[in-house]
Amino acid sequence: MSNMSSAGRDNTHIWVRAEKKENERRVAIVPKDAETLIKAGYKVTVEASGQRCITTDAYQSVGCHIAPEDSWTEAPADAFILGVKELPDADEDLIHRHIYFGHVYKDQPDWQHTLGRFVSGNGILYDLECLVDENERRIAAFGYWAGYAGAATAVMTWLGQQAGLVPPVGSIGSYPNVEALLAELRTGLEKVGNKPNMIVIGALGRTGSGATDLGKALGMDISKWDMAETASGGPFPEIQKHSIFVNCILASPSCPRFVTADDIQVEDRRLSVIADVSCDPESAYNPIPIYNRSTTFDSPTVSAVAGDNPLDIVAIDHLPSMLPLESSEDYSKQLMTALIDLKEPEKGIWGRALDQFNRNIARL
């Protein structure tokens, strides 16, 4: 297949598409970083969007070209189409070079169909999850804010349980800033008169640090686990002694099973909320195999155990959109490390992502 090299080409074109996933208000690049790219010789087109947390005018004011919403299919063939979440379901061939979180490399449902669209259209996916440095460390991630929001939704769920609500949370929205979110949670905890304790697995990573910081901000008792604490491979009865478990470990063949159907049968279970921030319920490697579907902002929880001692799971795969402005600003700053070198999409960070794409299409 052709890799459509643009090495050395002036005015490499980045086309920022509007997100179509419901409640997805994030964007991969914010205006000040778009301006930096324009000054470095890039052309940046941004689609209009009433859903995005940053106004279209803010992009136009720094020199971005503005295009109608959902017009990326008509973008020049050599443009890089930049997004955050998956493309809408469709069958049309994909002719462009796309940059977004594909969720197709771990045998997720429809992975073959999605990658097949790239193959038939001679397009390329540079999966954001595969933008790594020479040490295989991701150069940009929403992890911190995913962990922060995941822990926050867990506390909301716990508060709903204390109030006897079924489901414990009706819906979740986005917040203008962190302070507004914390104020709401503190008010809820004050009404209840006590606080849940929390265990965070993956506490040493970016996602785990976000979850931990949310717990600290609310004055919660937190157990911080990472590889050393899970090296035994399980079972892990200690998890059942915490009100909230926040999972920040990505599903993989080597990942232990943290909570199984047998684990939650113990009579003295305190565990009542799981926030699966990594959120790969449909993967064969799901480390919490007591549920099998993601949840949404409109329906945030899935019940694993009903009754007087409930267990509810939050598994929203775009949690940082709860705090879209902070998470977008943070991610954009990180992503600039790679975007500034996009004029050479077969080298370095981009070359490694291209290798991943080629390896996975070879599986079809």
The span from the CA of 304 to the CA of 272, in Å, is 9
Whether residue 13 lies in the annotated active site: no
Nearest CA to 297 out of 270, 320, 329, 280 is that of 320
**Could you tell me which residues come within 8 angstroms of residue 305 by beta carbon, excluding any fewer than 6 positions away?**
264, 311
103-104-105 Cα angle (round to 5) = 105
- Residue 222 CA: distances (Å) to CA of 6, 35, 161, 237, 246: 49, 41, 20, 16, 10
Catalytic site residue 85? yes
For tokens 């991610």, the residue is 331
CA distance 350 to 13: 15
Q: Are 199 and 244 in contact (CB under 8 A)?
A: yes
Tokens 């899970």 belong to residue: 230
Per DSSP bridges, beta strands 198-201 and 124-127 are unpaired
The helix/strand/coil state of 183 is helix
* 8 Å CB contact between 45 and 65: yes
Q: How far apart are alpha carbons 310 and 77 in whole angstroms? A: 52
Strand partners, 316: 295
Q: Three-state DSSP class for 117?
A: helix
Beta strands 80-82 and 198-201, pairing class: unpaired
Q: Cα 12 vs. chain centroid, distance in angstroms?
A: 27
**Residue 46 pairs with which residues in a beta bridge?**
16, 66
Regarding beta strands 301-305 and 273-276, do their DSSP bridges make them parallel or antiparallel, or are they unpaired?
A: unpaired
Find the catalytic residue in 13, 21, 96, 103.
103
Catalytic residue among 85, 96, 242, 318: 85
Kindly list the catalytic residues.
85, 103
